[in-house]
Amino acid sequence: MPDDLPLVYESAEECVEEALTHIGKDIKMGLPIGVGKPTAIANAFYRAAKKDSSINLRMYSGLTLHTPTWKSELERRFVEPLAKRLFPDYIDPEYMDDVMTGRLPDNVDLREIYLSPGAGLDNDRLQQSAMSSNFTHVSRDVHAAGCNVVACMVSGKGASGLHSMGSNADAAVMMARDLIAKSRAGERVRLLAQVNPNMPYMFGAGEIAPAEFNGIVDHHQYYHQLFAPPKEPITTAEYYIGLHVGSLIRDGGTFQVGFGSLADAITLVMQMRHDRNDLYYRVISETGIYKKFNREIDTIGGTGTFKKGLYGCSEFIFDGFVHLMGSDIIKRKVYGHEGLQRTLIKHRLDGAPVGEILDALVEEGVVERHLTPRDAEFLAHYGILREGARVENGDLLLNGTRCSADLSNPAARATIHNMFLGRELLHGALIHAGFFIGSGRFYDTLLNMSDDERRLIQMREISFVNGIMDDGELKKWQRRDGRFVNTAMLVSALGGAASDTLENGQVISGVGGQYNFVSMGQSLPGARSILTVRAVRDKAGEPASNVVWTYGNYTIPRHLRDIYVTEYGIADVRGRTDSETVKAMLNVTDSRFQDALLRKAKACHKLPRNYRIPPQFRGNTPEALEKGLAPFRAKGLFKMFPYGTELTKEELTLARTLRGLKVKLSLKGFRPPAFNDARKILFPPEQAMPYLERMGLEGKPANAEELAMKKLVLYALAADDLI
C-alpha cells in the first residue's frame, strides 16, 4: 500500500487498537451528530474503555440516534416488532444504552451538545454532562478541549476518488480540518472513517481525500441503513401553524425550517399555496386567517405562487426540501461569488440569458470592459463564457477562434456574444445545509439522484450555513428576504422563548442553531425570524398554556423578539413596545388562558387597566380550529399523514390509545371502565382481534401478566370507542 494512503480495516476493533497504540489512553473524541455518526468505531472505543479502566474516554457528540426502547412488557410488545421492521440493521450506540440505564463507567465521559428531545430527563449523567453551546461554536469548543480523535461516517468513493461525509459537513468537517492541521504539525492524533455505501455522496465541504484519514473501516458488516425516524401525525394545531407560516414566506427569498410533523405541515401548505393557489386562498379565507392577519401576511409574506422561487439555507434538511424542489418552489439558485450574486439580484436576472448577465457584470464593474485573463477564468467557471475560453495579449481565444476581448468594441462584442458565450450559468446551488435526517424514501431519493442533481444540494460547514460573520456581503445577497422558521417549547408574553431547557434547569434538547438563525433574522436585510409554538400542551392530563408570563430559562431573549406563530395566529412583535407585544401575544393565546394572562399583565403595569382583548381573538379554542378545517377534511384534505407513514393502521391506533392509557393510569382520579366497556373487556368483540394479534395477545393468556396486559389493551380500545 502506498505510504500516502491510510490503512483500511475490516474490523473497527483493529482500527481502534492501532489508534490507542499511537495516541495513548487519554482519548478526546469528536463525533458527528445524527445519521453520520460512525457507531461501529464509537462502540469499539467504548468497549475498549469498559474493558480497560485506565483508558480515559471523553466523547463529544450530539443527537445520538437510538432505536426505540421500552420500560414494560406491554411497551415491548408494541415497540420491539416495530423497531425490528424500521431499523433492521442499524448499529445502536452501546454507550447510550449504558448511560440510560446507569451503567456508564466512570472512565467514560459523554458530553452531548444536543440531546434527542426529552431523552435525558431525570438522567444524572446526561444532565450533568450536557454542553450548552451554539452549534457554530462546537468545533471551537472541541478543539479547545484537546480533541485528538475525530471519527465520521463516509460514503463510498465518488467519481473524483474522494470520500464524502454525506450528511455531516456541519461541525464534523471543521473538527476534521483541525485534526488534519494537528497531524501535519506532528501531533499524535487520528482521523478515522467508517464507510457506509448507504450514505449518499454529497458534494461540498464534506468531500475529503482518502489520504487525509489515518484509518478507514470498510466492511459489509457495517453497511447499515441510515436511521430513519417514522413520520409523526400532523395535528390540527400544527396545520394551523403551517397555514400561518406558509403565508409569511416571501417569493424570491430564502427558507429555513426545522424538522418533524410541524415542518411537514409548513411544507404541505407551501405546496398548496404554489400548486393549488385557489384552494389555499379559500382555506385561509374561510378559516378567518386572512381576515385577522392580512396586514402581517401582505407586508411580510404573500398569498401568491412562488414564481421567482426560494433558496434553501438550513442547518439541516429533510424530506420537505426535496418536496419543495419537486414542486418547483425551491428553484432560486445562488452562486459563490459576491459580484455575480449581487448583479443577479440588483438587475433581476434570475433565468436571464448569459449575454445579459455579462453586460450587467460589466456595468457593475465586476469584470473589466476589456476582459482580463482573470475575468475570462471567472466567466468560464460560471458558464458565462464557454469552457476553455481564455484571454491572451488582450484577445479572447477559444478552440482556434480569436477576437478582441474589448466589449466596448461593437464588432468584438458581437463576436463574443455569437461565438464565445456559454448556454447557462454553472455551479449554482439551490440548497446549502449542514446535515440531513429524514425518511428512508428521502435517503433513497438522494442516492438515486444524478451527480448534477445532487450538486444542487451543497453540504457546507455549520459556520457557513448558520452564520454571516464570514462572507457577509455574499450572504447578504444570497439570503435575501430570509424566513428562518424554528420551534420553541413556550414563549413569554414579553417575547422571550424557551426551546431547550426546563425552568428547573433540566435540558430537553439543545440550542442547536436556533440562536444563530434568530440573529440572522435580525441582521440580514429583509429577513425575519419566525418562532412557532403550540399554544397548548398536555400537563398531567390537563391543558396548560405555552404562552406564559415569565420563565426561568430562555433560549432566545426578549430583545430579539420578532415573529411568533401559534395555531391561533401571528404575533409580529419586532420593534414593538412591551404593551404592544403583550397585546399581540394575548391575541394568539388559547382563550382558556387569556384572562389569567391579561390580569397578570395589568398587575405588572404592562397594560392599561381598561384594556380588553378584541372580540375577534376571543374564540381561540381547539373546537373552533376543528370546525374551521372540517369542510376541507371532508374533501380529503389535511390528513394526519399526507406524505405517508411507516406504521400500519393497527399500530397507529395502538400508539394513540396506549399513550392515552399511560396518562390515565398516572392520574390519581383513574376511573374503572363503564359497564359497556367492561363487557367488551370480558368478551372481546371481533374488531378487537387485529389489535390483540399485533400485541401477541390474541390467544388464551399464558399467565396473570398476559391476562392483565390483554385487559389493559381492551380497556384502552374501549375507552376510545374503537371496539
Q: What angle do CA 338, 339, 340 make, to 5 degrees?
A: 95
DSSP per-residue codes, 115-134: PPTTTTTT-HHHHHH-----
Q: What angle do CA 490, 495, 501 make, to 5 degrees?
A: 35
pTM score of the predicted model: 0.94
Three-class SS of residue 269?
helix
CB within 8 A of 649, min separation 6: which ones?
none
**Backbone phi, psi, residue 497, to 5°:** -125, 135
Could you tell me where the DSSP H helices lie in 287-337? Answer: 289-300, 319-326
Percent with pLDDT over 70 in the chain: 98
The residue-averaged pLDDT of 255-268 equals: 95
Chain segment 552-584, per-residue pLDDT in tens: 999 999 999 999 999 999 999 999 999 999 999
**Rounded CA separation 136/655 (Å):** 37
**Rounded CA separation 485/490 (Å):** 15
The residue-averaged pLDDT of 501-514 equals: 94
**Rounded CA separation 248/521 (Å):** 13
188-198 as b/e, with b when 16 or more CB fall inside 10 Å? Answer: ebbbbbbbbeb
Sign of CA dihedral 558, 560, 562, 566: negative
Sign of CA dihedral 69, 73, 74, 76: positive
Q: Which long-range contacts (CB under 8 A, 24 or more apart) does 571-578 make?
A: 572/296, 572/300, 573/495, 574/522, 574/528, 578/494, 578/606
- What amino acid is encoded at 157 in this protein? K
Copy the grid coordinates of residue 363.
456595468
Helices 354-363 & 338-346 angle (0-180, nearest 10): 100
Closest CA to 171 of 207, 130, 136: 136
For residue 667, the model assigns a pLDDT of 65
Structural domains present in the chain: 7-222 (3.40.1080.10), 236-332+431-622 (3.40.1080.20), 338-419 (no CATH), 649-719 (no CATH)
pLDDT at 595 over 80: yes
Closest CA to 547 of 528, 530, 571: 571
Is residue 692 a contact partner of residue 710, using CB atoms and an 8 Å limit?
A: yes
pLDDT at 2 over 50: no
The residue-averaged pLDDT of 387-393 equals: 95
11-50 as b/e, with b when 16 or more CB fall inside 10 Å? Answer: ebbebbebbbeebeeebbbbbbbbbbbbbbbbbbbbebbb
Q: What torsion, rounded to 10 degrees, do the Cα atoms 146, 151, 152, 155 define? A: 140
Classify the phi-psi angles of 465: left when phi > 0, otherwise alpha if psi is within -120 to 50, otherwise beta.
alpha
CB within 8 A of 127, min separation 6: which ones?
120, 121, 506, 507
Beta strands (DSSP E) in 375-515 are 390-392, 395-398, 401-404, 431-436, 457-459, 482-487, 490-492, 497-498
Is residue 588 a contact partner of residue 534, using CB atoms and an 8 Å limit?
A: no
The residue-averaged pLDDT of 228-233 equals: 93
Please report which confidence band the pLDDT of residue 721 belongs to, taking 50, 70 and 90 as the band edges: confident
| Residue whose cell numbers read 438563525 | 517
592 or 350, higher pLDDT: 592
The residue-averaged pLDDT of 515-544 equals: 94
For residue 660, the model assigns a pLDDT of 83
Chain segment 67-98, per-residue pLDDT in tens: 998 889 999 999 999 999 999 999 999 999 99
The residue-averaged pLDDT of 596-603 equals: 98
The residue-averaged pLDDT of 592-601 equals: 98
Chain segment 668-705, per-residue pLDDT in tens: 556 667 767 788 888 899 999 999 999 999 989 999 99
Chain segment 286-307, per-residue pLDDT in tens: 999 999 999 999 999 999 999 9
Number of other CB atoms surrounding residue 476 within 10 Å? 20
Exposed/middle/buried for 565, CB within 10 Å: 0-12, 13-18, 19+? buried
pLDDT at 273 over 60: yes
Percent with pLDDT over 90 in the chain: 91
pLDDT at 1 over 50: no
pLDDT at 231 over 50: yes
Three-class SS of residue 498?
strand
CB within 8 A of 241, min separation 6: which ones?
262, 265, 266, 532, 534, 565, 566, 567
Length in residues, the chain: 723
**Rounded CA separation 126/63 (Å):** 12
The residue-averaged pLDDT of 578-603 equals: 98
**Rounded CA separation 720/714 (Å):** 10
Number of other CB atoms surrounding residue 268 within 10 Å? 23
Within 13 Å and on the Cβ side, how many CA atoms surround 66?
20
pLDDT at 542 over 50: yes
Exposed/middle/buried for 447, CB within 10 Å: 0-12, 13-18, 19+? middle
pLDDT at 199 over 80: yes
Chain segment 319-356, per-residue pLDDT in tens: 999 999 999 999 999 999 999 999 999 999 988 999 99
| Residue whose cell numbers read 359497564 | 675
